[in-house]
Amino acid sequence: MIRSGQLVNWLVDARTRTFELVTELEPRDMVGEAGLGLPSPTWLIGHLVWYLDRQILGRDNLLLDDAVFDPAMAPPPALLESPTFDEILPLSADVQSKVLEAIMTPDEVPAEMARQLRYAIDREDWAGEQIVAWMQSQGREGPLLIFDDEQPVRPAASRVAGDVEIPAGEGMVGAPEDDELADPGERPE
């Protein structure tokens, strides 16, 4: 089992990084057609809140409608008018507070809850990648990225003219065969 303190640290770190990506944007700037099938930052953050609320807390929040935020029910809309980012923000804080309270109570988190939380943390990383791609598709500079002791890097704005090179060292494409959170398309063939 994963200790609750480790999950708390991972969840807080992931959510902090997600919100750092959008700090330079006004709420009105986080909606709109991005093209290339990219969901808006408002939808992405709403989806993350929906997932924690639905899967971890087991609640059915009226503001976070399944028909809007469950990708299995409908494709993510690029233009999300309701709820707004200003409505999602306080709900995000409330949901995260309740999730942290739920996982800090036991010393060890039950296996199924830990699995769902690891998946939620993975979704935060996915959303971060989507937010950066959305910003670039809008012709905006990407967020300021800081890698350990290196100089900060800001991905250039582009209209999908090319990828942004970010010095990140060696990485793996896909997922190991035994990764229980990997989608089938991420597993080696």
* pLDDT band of 98, cuts 50, 70, 90: very high
What pLDDT, in 10s, does the model give residues 152-188?
Answer: 656 555 444 455 566 666 665 566 677 776 666 555 5
The pLDDT value given to residue 20: 85
The pLDDT value given to residue 160: 44
* pLDDT band of 17, cuts 50, 70, 90: confident
- Residues counted in the chain: 189
Total-model pTM: 0.73
Q: Alpha-carbon distance 20 to 128, whole Å?
A: 10
Q: Alpha-carbon distance 35 to 173, whole Å?
A: 25
145 strand-pairing partners: 153
Which of 19, 174, 148 minimizes the C-alpha distance to 30?
A: 19
| pLDDT beyond 50 at 189 | yes
What share of the chain has pLDDT > 70, as a percent? 67
Q: Alpha-carbon distance 161 to 170, whole Å?
A: 24
More confident residue, 62 or 9: 9
- What's the mean per-residue pLDDT of the chain? 77
Q: Are 127 and 18 in contact (CB under 8 A)?
A: yes
What pLDDT, in 10s, does the model give residues 51-69?
Answer: 999 888 988 776 788 878 8
* pLDDT band of 76, cuts 50, 70, 90: low
Residue ranges of the alpha helices (H) in 22-144? Answer: 41-51, 66-69, 85-104, 111-137
Amino acid, res. 117: L
Q: How many CA atoms lie within 13 A of 136 on its CB side?
A: 20
More confident residue, 108 or 96: 96
Q: Is residue 134 classed as helix, strand or coil in its secondary structure?
A: helix
Tokens of residue 49, six digits: 């809140």
Task: Calculate mean pLDDT across residues 138-163.
Answer: 59
Q: Alpha-carbon distance 84 to 99, whole Å?
A: 22
Sign of CA dihedral 92, 85, 83, 116: negative
